[in-house]
Structure 1
Amino acid sequence: MAGQALAGIRIIDLTQALSGPFCTSLLADQGADVIKIESPRGDMLRHTGPFGDGDENPAYGGVFGNANRNKRSVVLDLKVPEARDALLALIDDADALVENFSNGVMERLGLGYDELASRNPRLVYTSIRGFGDARGGVSPYANWPAFDIVAQAMGGLMSITGQDASSRVRVGSGIGDTVPALFAAFGTVTALLEAKSSGKGQYVDVAMVDSVLAVSEVVVNNYAYTGVSPEPIGNQLRGFAPFDVVPAKDGEVTLGAPHNPQWAKLCAVMERPDLVTDPRFDTDHKRWVNREPLYEIVTAWTSSHTVAELVELLGGKVPLGPILDAADIFADPHYAARNMLPQLPVPGTDREIAVTGVVPKLSRTPGEVRHRAPLLGEHTVEVLRSAGLNNAALAALQTAGGTVIEGVLS
């Protein structure tokens, strides 16, 4: 296997749920050695489905398996002094730490940035919280807990999502978690790159609501220019037309042809070249202003064709795509060709289950989904031994209640 971009980087993962684990999984995919520190109960996401029929392990849910592949798991109860000392030994040799505890928890555990940076000055310390850390700006909501739906609501995305102002909804996926994870991974790698030249780590502060706002460009751009808060308009995109889900004879497709070159190609396929010079539709902006008559014309044409016919007529000419559900995606040749659904074994079963693949395809140092997510504490002994703990120290740690080690130490 070719080398990986983050090989040799060790990251201490003090995260649970989705935002933090998704962040560190991206780093692990690129070769970082991610050591996941869990309490004796384990990451809360372990106990959340989906579970398959016959799954014997109730602490290995599907979302956990996806967000924690390529990692090693160590059980440490950080309320026990001996466990905290073991963690500090790992941190002393680490390049980065990622955590998503509520504000103040790490300081109460004696694991705040200032203390850890004094021990390991090159440590990159990344936090993901609902409203960020004081180092990035003191939010009036700093102590509020947050989930995905809160981030989507307060980050502005829900205000523009839905059919109209009376039916605002959250985006169906947990992007209030995964988008902050992307920013946290970017910030961590950026700080690691800078630390290579300076020899100094730094604090990386990511707020979930900030992250959602940053990708809600409609909210910011429209209000900044017009002073008017945009409202939901279904599947359309403000200022762009045609750009929507449009009907077919046997279903629906997505269609986007808002710019002059795309509009001209669409008109040619519809055999309506007159529409290109129609004064209602001859500029991008006019097509948005006059979108109602435009959609009447376009949808009358799309409704006379099946989805398959529209794909044949427009595919490769203008942006168009059928709406794929999960079954469609698992059968689609694109995702197979791009290795976007690699299979991993599920502990306690004889099955393999797909997880999402690695998105950035690096030509020389490719990322890879190398192995399944760990069982709880699966790597406790090997990791702590690498930090200098011998059998006696491990046994003492277990006796103190700081860890759970299955079987006999050998």
Structure 2
Amino acid sequence: MQTQAKPAGALAGLRVIDLTQMLAGPFCTQILADHGADVIKVEAMTGDGTRVTGPFCADDAMRDFGGYFQSVNRNKRSIAVDLKTEAGRDVLRALIDKADIVVENFRAGVMDRLGFAYETLRQTNPRLIYGTVRGFGDPRSGESPYAQWPAYDVVSQAMGGMMGITGPDRCTPTKIGPGVGDTIPALMLCIGILAAVNRVRETGQGQFVDVAMTDAVLAMCERIVYQNSYTGEVAAPEGNRHPLLCPFGLFRARDGHVSIACATDAFWEKLAVAIGRPDMATDPDFATNAARVQRQQQVIEAIEAFTSVRTKEEIAIALGGKVPFGPVYTSAEIFADRHYAVRDMIVEVEQPGSATPVKIAGVPIKLSETPGAVRTRAPMLGEHTEEILFGAGYVEDDIRRLRQEGAVR
């Protein structure tokens, strides 16, 4: 049983052939699916490699997929195709010829060698938008010396500059917790694809959309570029501080940490009063942001004299709504916070093989007239093979033959 159907989203009517795996590609196509696109996930006969990645529910004996796969493949349909066979390649070509968008994240050249180069596909489907996300981009947009290097989240975080400005001190670069080296490029690719959708509606011509994971991460770290260009400074990790703003970072609480961000002197004045230090709002040594940046440690000590002896909840009562503030949440605290409940950001879905539904993150983009939604759980491997093939014009005998030949599952 699938999750109860919801109204179609803003992208209803678009058909996407999803040839992606791991995180960056599937995250992009899931966003399209969340907003109504018909995303057909074309998998190998053994399935996307993340199907075997946990966590799994304790009572799930089926183990068709775990939490990783569930979290980035909802709202999609699955067909299993063996692209090593001619019949399997014919199936894929038939699906692409009727599609609006193809998304893949293989290494550069893989699809070309299989006979699915963009230049080939556009001959029979000139409206096709072909989206790619690779570690170092596609040679069509500029051939990187690293074009054939495999890449994952940590690689793009490292080479895109993000790790180089993150860490407890200037000598300790640190990996960002979530896979932003994948999800940021996914968002960029999604934007590129939707820009191309707008263009094809005007001209009838599709195009190739290329995102390098490293490029996307660098774009999100924009200040390291202008800092170096304007001043010659090579940015380094700042710990829980900010090089240009103060106070702006994390501060110790009795039961964890809180974030406080006073990007204006007006906010600083309110904070100084709230922590019992109104004198620091008028003292020339602390009244301006420039002065506070020069005396960061003294500012931090003054704030932590207030926060370190109070719980996150007590600090929230004192500062919430007055200055930019937020407690550093654990996942348990997120689950308990009413904000995420009323915003539909913790969504319950069926987990095949388990008697208990599971929770995944919801849709963050809220549209008033055509809202996105988690309409269906992630698909089981080849769950929709027949309906997809019927929709592509195949009949029962064709499907039986394809299965006998091992071209589809």
Q: TM-score range by the shorter chain?
A: over 0.9
> Taking structure 1 as reference, are residues 30 and 53 closer, same or farther at Cα in structure 2, changes over 3 Å only?
same
RMSD: 1.3
1:372 aligns with 2:408: no
Partner of 1:217: 222
C-alpha distance in 1 between matches for 2:66 and 2:8? 31
Larger mean Cα displacement after TM superposition, 7-16 or 227-236: 227-236
Partner of 2:154: 149
Deviations 1:370-399 (A, max 9, x none): 010000000001101111111221122222
Note the 1:82-161 alignment, pairs <5 A: 82-161=87-166
C-alpha distance in 2 between matches for 1:24 and 1:308? 38
Amino acid at match of 1:30: H
Alignment partner of 2:260: what SS?
A: strand
Partner of 1:407: none
> Taking structure 1 as reference, are residues 275 and 39 closer, same or farther at Cα in structure 2, changes over 3 Å only?
same
Alignment partner of 1:97: what SS?
A: strand
2:255 and 2:311 in contact (8 A); partners too:
yes
Choose the corresponding residue for 2:335, options 330, 333, 336: 330
Partner of 2:183: 178
C-alpha distance in 1 between matches for 2:261 and 2:283? 19
Deviations 1:346-381 (A, max 9, x none): 001111111110011000000010010000000001
Larger mean Cα displacement after TM superposition, 296-305 or 18-27: 296-305
Alignment partner of 1:374: what SS?
A: coil
1:2 and 1:364 in contact (8 A); partners too:
no
Q: CA deviation at 1:2?
A: 4.4
C-alpha distance in 1 between matches for 2:68 and 2:226? 34
1:128 and 1:180 in contact (8 A); partners too:
yes
Amino acid at match of 1:163: P
Q: CA deviation at 1:3?
A: 4.1
Partner of 2:240: 235
C-alpha distance in 2 between matches for 1:373 and 1:308? 37
Note the 1:269-348 alignment, pairs <5 A: 269-348=274-353
Partner of 2:80: 75
Q: Give the TM-score normalised by the residue count of structure 1.
A: 0.96
Q: CA deviation at 1:234?
A: 1.1
C-alpha distance in 2 between matches for 1:390 and 1:158? 53
1:95 and 1:122 in contact (8 A); partners too:
yes
Alignment partner of 1:189: what SS?
A: helix
Choose the corresponding residue for 1:52, options 34, 57, 63: 57
1:218 and 1:238 in contact (8 A); partners too:
no
C-alpha distance in 2 between matches for 1:344 and 1:313? 37
Gaps of 5+ in 1: 405-410
> Taking structure 1 as reference, are residues 21 and 109 closer, same or farther at Cα in structure 2, changes over 3 Å only?
same
Deviations 1:54-97 (A, max 9, x none): 11223301010110000000011111111111111111111100
Partner of 2:265: 260
Partner of 1:408: none
C-alpha distance in 1 between matches for 2:255 and 2:72? 37
Q: CA deviation at 1:46?
A: 0.6
Alignment partner of 1:355: what SS?
A: strand
Alignment partner of 2:120: what SS?
A: helix
Alignment partner of 2:173: what SS?
A: coil
Gaps of 5+ in 2: 1-5
2:108 and 2:139 in contact (8 A); partners too:
no
Partner of 1:21: 26
Q: Percent identity?
A: 49
C-alpha distance in 2 between matches for 1:373 and 1:274? 57
Q: CA deviation at 1:231?
A: 1.1
Deviations 1:231-275 (A, max 9, x none): 111122221111121122343211111311110111221233322
Deviations 1:192-217 (A, max 9, x none): 11101110100000100011111113
Partner of 1:34: 39
Partner of 2:406: 401
2:57 and 2:354 in contact (8 A); partners too:
no
Amino acid at match of 1:261: A
**May I ask how many residue pairs the two structures share in their alignment?**
404
Partner of 2:3: none
2:8 and 2:35 in contact (8 A); partners too:
no
Alignment partner of 2:361: what SS?
A: coil
2:334 and 2:340 in contact (8 A); partners too:
yes
Q: CA deviation at 1:290?
A: 1.6
C-alpha distance in 1 between matches for 2:208 and 2:174? 34
Partner of 2:392: 387
1:345 and 1:352 in contact (8 A); partners too:
yes
Alignment partner of 1:342: what SS?
A: strand
1:11 aligns with 2:16: yes
Q: Give the TM-score normalised by the residue count of structure 2.
A: 0.96
Alignment partner of 2:346: what SS?
A: coil
Q: CA deviation at 1:218?
A: 3.4
C-alpha distance in 1 between matches for 2:183 and 2:26? 9
C-alpha distance in 2 between matches for 1:258 and 1:208? 30
Larger mean Cα displacement after TM superposition, 331-340 or 245-254: 245-254
1:3 and 1:364 in contact (8 A); partners too:
no
C-alpha distance in 2 between matches for 1:44 and 1:322? 36
Amino acid at match of 2:143: V
Alignment partner of 1:371: what SS?
A: coil
